[in-house]
Amino acid sequence: MTYYLYLGLAVVVALLATFFDLRRGEIPNWLTAGGALSGLLLHTVLGWSYAGFDSAWRGAAFTAVGVGLCTFAPFISFRLRAIGGGDLKLMGTMGAIGGPILGIQVQFYAMVLLALFCAARLAYRGKLLRMLGCGMFLLVRPLFKRLREESLAPEVMMSVRAAPAVLAGLIVAALLQNAA
């Protein structure tokens, strides 16, 4: 029963994030902070109602572990300017609400869906092979000093909205959880 409370809160946050991300190109701080605090409050209060003070601390720790694990890899991507700050905070919010397991599942499915979407979009535009070549360039670039100073051409860079993929990843994770 409580799983559906967490899932419902995560869906509401992901739906709102998708709306704002598609509409304005940013995810508001009040949404991600409010979602993370709601997740913390939900885990703590439900833990306290089941087994008292000790379980409330476990709920708070569960939320902290979820945020930490779900922001680790996206933080590296953020530092490399591969994703935006709102996407990073949204991933942390999913970890705060769903805990580390659901948060990482959502993150994994969202990244797979984004990769498939980007590949399809590049193939439609006829730029997929060029982008794969640029990917190989990025892999060997750290090995050669001369290549480190070169930058990628702006036309091979792509911007996508991640919040819809997070929402889709959440739906996939929930469906697979219920199917098991």
**What pLDDT digit, counting tens, does each position of 130-178 carry?**
778 777 777 776 666 665 555 656 655 677 899 999 999 999 999 998 8
Quote the mean pLDDT of the chain: 88
- Give CA–CA dist 123/144, Å, rounded: 29
Structure tokens at 95: 């970890």
CA atoms within 13 Å, Cβ hemisphere of 63: 22
Sign for the pseudo-dihedral over CA of 19, 23, 25, 30: negative
Phi-psi sector, 144: left (phi>0), alpha (psi -120 to 50), beta: beta
pLDDT of residue 27: 96
- Give CA–CA dist 12/53, Å, rounded: 29
Dihedral angle of Cα 164, 165, 171, 172, to the nearest 10 degrees = 160
pTM of the model: 0.84
φ, ψ of residue 175 to 5 degrees: the values are -65, -40
Query: What are the residue ranges spanned by the domains of the chain?
Result: 2-179
pLDDT of residue 154: 62
- Give CA–CA dist 18/36, Å, rounded: 16
Q: What percent of the chain has pLDDT over 70?
A: 88
CA distances from 22 to 25, 73, 163 (A): 6, 23, 8
Per DSSP, helices labelled H in 80-159 are 85-125, 128-140, 145-148
